[in-house]
Chain A
Amino acid sequence: MSSNTFLGMPSLPVFGHGNLNATEAFPKAAHRELGNEQLRANLGHATHTIRDKRLKVVAELPDWEDMRNAGAAIKDATMANLPALLEQFEANFTARGGVIHWARDAQEANEIVTALIRETGETEVVKVKSMATQEIGLNEYLEEQGIAAYETDLAELIVQLDHDKPSHILVPAIHKNRSQVREIFLREMPVVDPNLTDEPAKLAEAARKHLRKKFLSAKVAVSGANFGLADTGTLTVVESEGNGRMCLTLPETLITVMGIEKLLPTWEDLEVFMQLLPRSSTGERMNPYTSLWTGVTPGDGPQNVHLVMLDNGRTAALADEMGRTALNCIRCSACMNVCPVYERTGGHAYGSTYPGPIGAILSPLLTGIKSEENNSLPYASSLCGACYDACPVKINIPEILVHLRGEDVDSKRAKVKVPTQMDLMMKGAEWAFAKGSHLSLLEKGLPLGTLAAGRDKVIKKLPGIAGGWTQSRDIPAPPTQSFRQWWAKEHKPGAAVVPGSTNSPEGEQA
């Protein structure tokens, strides 16, 4: 099926636009965000809480790894057969009364959605939280066109009312405290109880009242989709509050925007993803509500059902043989909850709609590594690998980060003949990690580092490009001996080996 030979096609990738570009380089944005104590405290609490819940519910399943393997394979199979699956999905969705539109990029998608809304004569729409519409900047575009788009997810509502940006893909308003939410509601909601307290239950109640009339009278809704099933033409939205169900079933017209990568080949594949997603995402066995619809159901729900299929750089990402698995992402946010860099900088530092480890690879893949400030994103990682372990579809984020760093170095080398400092650092790292003996050689220099650190055992400032890193943090001085040196000393021939350990740390292949 995948052996399509196709001639005379554009060979250059076409990149995406919209809220994908950082407006400043990650190190600069991160430095500013690091000063935000509240953000860091809230994020730390949130990521740790969700992380623990996730571990608990994942441990409940004896077949979690089998499910991850299935999930990764299903997504790889989807990408390998994308043209045929898109055609199949289109035929099934259309056969049941749905209408499909195709959008090359953010601008085109925005124009299509606007035209569809105009056709209904409405100037107001309700919205279900969706990454795709955030990526294309739909709300801002609609506003320019004189159409008001109301976010209905509680967190999105808070962020929208405060004219702010989401900082996490799952809990977008996590950087706000309850007292701030109360202030925002008192200030921005047209009708609100002046005695509103900052209890979350009371705040949720205020949001319910605020949105209820909108839901019951809305004629048009805009949503994203979590999955599209090719063999049945079914769309899926996964949520908690019921705002999604309201938007998906009450209005007359439903417009969904979905990336072309969101397909799964078969209905039964849903059994894998609806187990992987909730447990990875909120750490729940299942999210409170999942809605599924296939085109139009006469007499039930919207009778005017549209779907905008979005490229916006996805084909460019697909063209990157090393990076294309980034498109397998199901936006669960597990990778950001385990990422030490994200935990400290928060989502805003990444600039794009997609923050955290997945954002660090997805954004530059969608926009091209040469785009504006996105070329610093692949460096926003310690390569610790926690994201790879957490990812339900086994996206090897560290590997893609290293690949993109290489792309970045190459793209700069093309411009400047002299190797940059970064080139040299990368070259150095390549050499060091290539062979155990090289690393040992470098470790011999360790006592020197201790010396540079001074009496308080902390390196305050590193020279050159690494200095950017030390601007916002101190680096503990390296130990006087390396682990390898310690191991070698402790494990002279004949010394006891740690029970259960089969491979020695000295066992790297030369």
Chain B
Amino acid sequence: MSAREDIMNRIKSALRDAPATPVVPREYRRSSDMTAEQRLEQLVDRLVDYKANVFLTPAGDAPAKLAELLTGSTSIVVPHGLPESWLAALPSAGKDDGGTPAVHVDSPERRLTTAELDAVDAVVTAAAVAVSETGTIMLDGGGDQGRRIISLVPDRHICILNVDQIVEVLPEAIARLEASRPQTWISGPSATSDIELERVEGVHGPRTLDVIILT
């Protein structure tokens, strides 16, 4: 008998008392009555608590803000679907041309190698949805977010979020997300508390998380 059959038989034998299946009580909060301003305020509060840097920026000023944050960076990576307009104020304007900062575009046609990613200073992505109550930003591999690796290897992650992407509670985000997509949920930058419970930000993931929220 295969291990699978064996185990299935064991389970069925273990359940010979036919335990009842309870109806799951879902009285917990599954939607929010917070206003958009309240959600925004809560998200900012939680992100700052996690030691992320948060910038509230009118949508039109996104390119300028990004250029300002990237001053001093020599190279960055962006996913192929990132709105080009966001990069408009960068000297190299979204072209893979070695300007300052050099903008590398990671696309299905040209995937950056791990070594190349390790050599860039920062990554700029969008997000799929954000949960204000827990301060969580969710990436689902969409074209403006890219492969999981690009938001992982560079030491700095700049994430641009639209205010209408913010929900309050986790169930609202779960309803918006597609399970089959590869996901990374981010709540603050990488951190550890393994030595005497002292929190240290930045271990293996990006040590700096900047969040630009477009209002």
Instruction: Give per-residue flags for B179-215: 1 if the beta carbon is below 8 A from chain A beta carbons, else 0.
Output: 1111111111111111111101011111000000000
Q: Are B187's CB and A285's CB within 8 A?
A: yes
Contact of A154 among B4, B152, B188, B195 (CB under 8 A): B195
A289 within 8 A of B: yes
Chain B contacts of A62 at CB under 8 A? 29
Taking CB atoms, residues of chain B closer than 8 Å to A288 are 50, 186-191, 205
Q: Which of A18-26, A267-275, A380-388, A421-429 contacts B (4 or more CB under 8 A)?
A: A267-275
Report the separation of the CA atoms of residues A269 and B11 in the bound assembly, to the nearest whole angstrom.
Answer: 22
Cβ of A408 within 8 Å of any chain B Cβ, yes or no, is no
Q: A301 with B28: in contact, given A2-B21, A241-B205 (CB under 8 Å)?
A: no
**B5-29 vs A: 1/0 string, CB under 8 Å?**
0111111111111111111111111
Q: How does the 8 Å CB contact mask read for B90-117 relative to A, with 1 for contact and 0 for none?
A: 0000000000000000001001001100
In the complex, the answer to whether B197 meets A208 with C-beta atoms within 8 Å is no
Question: A289 and B133: CB pair below 8 A?
Answer: no
A246 at the interface (CB under 8 A from B): yes
Is B134 at the interface (CB under 8 A from chain A)?
yes
B147 at interface by CB-CB < 8 Å: yes
Contact with B133, one of A4, A67, A285 (Cβ below 8 angstroms): A285
Q: Assuming the A-B contacts A4-B18, A171-B197, A309-B7, are A300 and B25 also in contact, with contact meaning beta carbons closer than 8 angstroms in the complex?
A: no
Contacts known (A271-B174, A288-B190); A245 close to B198, Cβ less than 8 A:
no
A274 lies within 8 A of B170 (CB):
yes
User: B136 contacts the other chain (Cβ, under 8 Å)?
Assistant: yes
Chain A, interface residues (CB within 8 Å), range = 35 or more
Contact between A86 and B14, CB atoms less than 8 A apart: no
CB–CB B179/A301 < 8 A: no
| Contact residues in A for B18 (Cβ distance below 8 Å) | 2-4
| Contact between B10 and A291, CB atoms less than 8 A apart | no
Chain A residues within an 8 Å CB radius of B20: 2, 80
> Which residues in A have their C-beta under 8 angstroms from that of B204?
152, 208, 211-212, 215, 241-243, 245-246
Taking a contact as CB atoms under 8 Å apart, the answer to whether A45 and B108 are in contact is no
Residues of B within 8 A of A81 (CB): 21
Q: Tell me whether B179 and A232 are in contact (CB under 8 A).
A: yes
Q: Out of B11, B179, B200, which one reaches A260, CB within 8 Å?
A: B11
With both chains docked as a complex, state the minimum distance between the C-beta of A354 and any C-beta of chain B, in angstroms. Answer: 19
Cβ contacts under 8 Å, B12 to chain A = 4, 6, 9, 83
B61 within 8 A of A: no
**Smallest CB–CB gap between B203 and chain A, Å?**
4
Query: By the criterion CB–CB under 8 Å, are A155 and B194 in contact?
Result: yes
**Given the complex of chains A and B, what is the CA–CA distance between A181 and B174 in angstroms?**
40
Q: Mark A292-335, 1 if CB is under 8 A from B, else 0.
A: 11100101110000000101000110110100100000000000
A466 within 8 A of B: no
0/1 interface trace, chain A 187-226, chain B, CB 8 Å (1 if under):
0000000000000110110011001100110000000000
Selected from B6, B115, B182, the residue in CB contact (under 8 A) with A301 is: B182
| One of A70-78, A340-348, A410-418 contacting the partner | A70-78
Shortest A37–chain B CB gap in Å is 16
**A49 close to B111 (CB less than 8 A):** no
Q: Which of B19, B185, B189, B197 contacts A46 (CB 8 A)?
A: B197
Quick one: closest B residue to A318, CB to CB? B14
Is the CB–CB distance between A200 and B22 below 8 Å?
A: no
Once A104-B6, A204-B195 are accepted as A-B contacts, the answer to whether A250 and B114 lie under 8 Å apart by CB is yes
Chain A stretch 48-80: residues in CB contact (< 8 A) with chain B: 49-50, 62-63, 66-67, 69-70, 73-74, 76-77, 79-80
Contacts of A1-54 to chain B: CB distance below 8 A:
1-4, 6, 9-11, 13-14, 42, 45-46, 49-50
Asked if A289 and B186 sit within 8 Å, CB to CB, the answer is yes
A96 touching B21 by the CB < 8 A rule?
A: no
Interface flags, B107-130, vs A, CB<8A=1, else 0: 010010011001000000000000
Report B37 CB to chain A, min CB distance, Å.
20
Q: B11, A70: Cβ atoms under 8 Å? A: no
In the complex, B34 has a CB within 8 A of chain A: no
9 A-B pairs in the complex with CB atoms less than 8 angstroms apart: A62-B29, A76-B19, A77-B22, A79-B19, A104-B6, A211-B204, A243-B204, A282-B193, A290-B183
B: residues with CB less than 8 A from A are 2-4, 6-30, 46, 50, 108, 111, 114-115, 118, 131, 133-136, 141, 147-149, 152-153, 170-171, 174-175, 179-198, 200, 202-206
The 6 A-B residue pairs with the shortest CB-CB distance, nearest first, are A242-B205, A319-B14, A315-B10, A232-B179, A242-B204, A286-B134
